[in-house]
Amino acid sequence: MSAPADQLPPILLAGCGKMGGALLRGWLEDGLAPSVVLDRSFEHLSPPHRIVRHAADIPSDFTPTVIILAAKPQKADALIAAVAGLAGPQTIVLSVMAGRTIASLRAAFTAARPDAAPPAFVRTMPNTPAAIGQGMTVACAPGLADAQRALCTRLLEAVGEAAWVENEEEVDAVTAVSGSGPGYVFLVAELLEKGAVEQGLSPELARILARQTVAGAGALLARDPQDAADLRRQVTSPGGTTQAALDVLMAPDALPDAFSRAIAAARARAAELAS
């Protein structure tokens, strides 16, 4: 049975920890057809949705349109083996698991069900602001049918922005930018706070100055279509205080170089970890 047009389709969320839980919150707020969550410990889900602790407890008449794989990569194979039986050729299997390639997902499904036609696979890289509907998710699924792509976009946009890449190798670069990116922004907040304390401000004041500055600047960036560089120039009077700081930060061997090297290092590590 298909879901009403205004509802998200029935999903099987396989693994509902930090990331799966963040996605589920967004989907529930957006209106989700009766769905099943497979997780060993997740609680607090109201009917008509159901939680099951074992795949064997999934109701036999439940046919998910999309199976979301959201376990830690090392637990993925056992999870795939447990849910592969629910995937038909029309099913979309959408993975949020970092580093797990489409080829290896397909191989795991084929190993679990050698004689079955494989489902469609979508590899995605979300980030943690998805927990508050402000995520950035990039998806990759070469050859996916347009209707299935539209459905995945709708699911992903329920927790923030969504974009697609056609070449799976780009997922490593995406991982280095938006996947790991919240960590870089939190570092900026941390260093702003440290700098404030070094200038003699109280730790309490330093904390709120740093947090609200990062949050406020981020919110401004989200609302204003101008380039980040233009917004930066607008707060930088020639010869002023911001200019004095940016002369330090933007010296060729300072932040520009550090960011280039950091993102390249993250991309290389993502490629090493991919399986």
Ligand X SMILES: NC(=O)c1ccc[n+]([C@@H]2O[C@H](COP(=O)([O-])OP(=O)(O)OC[C@H]3O[C@@H](n4cnc5c(N)ncnc54)[C@H](OP(=O)(O)O)[C@@H]3O)[C@@H](O)[C@H]2O)c1
Least Å distance between CB 172 and ligand X? 13
**Smaller CB distance to ligand X: residue 38 or 156?**
38
Task: Give the one residue of 127, 135, 174, 176 binding ligand X; rule: CB under 6 A.
Answer: 127
**Quick count: other Cβ atoms within 10 Å of Cβ 132?**
12
Least CB distance from residue 144 to ligand X, whole Å? 20
Q: Does 18 bind ligand X (CB under 6 A)?
A: yes
Using the Cα atoms of residue 181, residue 121, residue 97 and residue 105 in order, give the sign of their dihedral: negative
Q: How far is the CB of 123 from ligand X (least distance, A)?
A: 11
**According to the binding rule CB under 6 A, does residue 15 interact with ligand X?**
yes
CB-based burial of residue 27 (10 Å sphere; 0-12 exposed, 13-18 middle, 19+ buried)?
A: buried
Show the site string, 92-121: x = touches ligand X by CB under 6 A, - = not. Answer: ----xxx-----------------------
Q: Binding marks (x or -) toward ligand X, 202..241, rule CB under 6 A?
A: ----------------------------------------
Interatomic CA distance for residues 271 and 39, integer angstroms: 29
Question: Least distance from C-beta 145 to ligand X, angstroms?
Answer: 25
CA-to-CA separations, 85 to 6, 63, 79, 117, 257, in angstroms, rounded: 28, 11, 11, 11, 49
The CA-atom distances, in angstroms, between 225 and each of 84, 137, 222, 232, 233 are 43, 20, 8, 13, 14
- Alpha carbons 267 and 181: distance in angstroms, whole number: 12
Which of 8, 58, 68, 71 contacts ligand X by CB under 6 A?
71
Burial, 211: exposed, middle or buried (Cβ in 10 Å; 0-12, 13-18, 19+)? middle
Using CB under 6 A as the binding rule, whether residue 38 contacts ligand X is answered as yes
| Minimum distance from residue 112 beta carbon to ligand X (Å) | 12
Shorter beta-carbon distance to ligand X: residue 160 or 196: 160
* Among 11, 36, 39, 140, contact with ligand X (rule: CB under 6 A): 39
For 143, list phi and psi in degrees, rounded to 5: 85, 5
Q: Does 160 bind ligand X (CB under 6 A)?
A: no
Min CB(231)–ligand X separation in Å: 27
- Minimum distance, C-beta of residue 16 to ligand X, in the bound complex (Å): 6
**Residue from 70, 86, 138, 162 in contact with ligand X (CB under 6 A):** 70
Q: Please give the residue ranges that form the binding site for ligand X (CB under 6 A).
A: 15-20, 38-41, 70-73, 75, 78-79, 82, 96-98, 126-128, 179
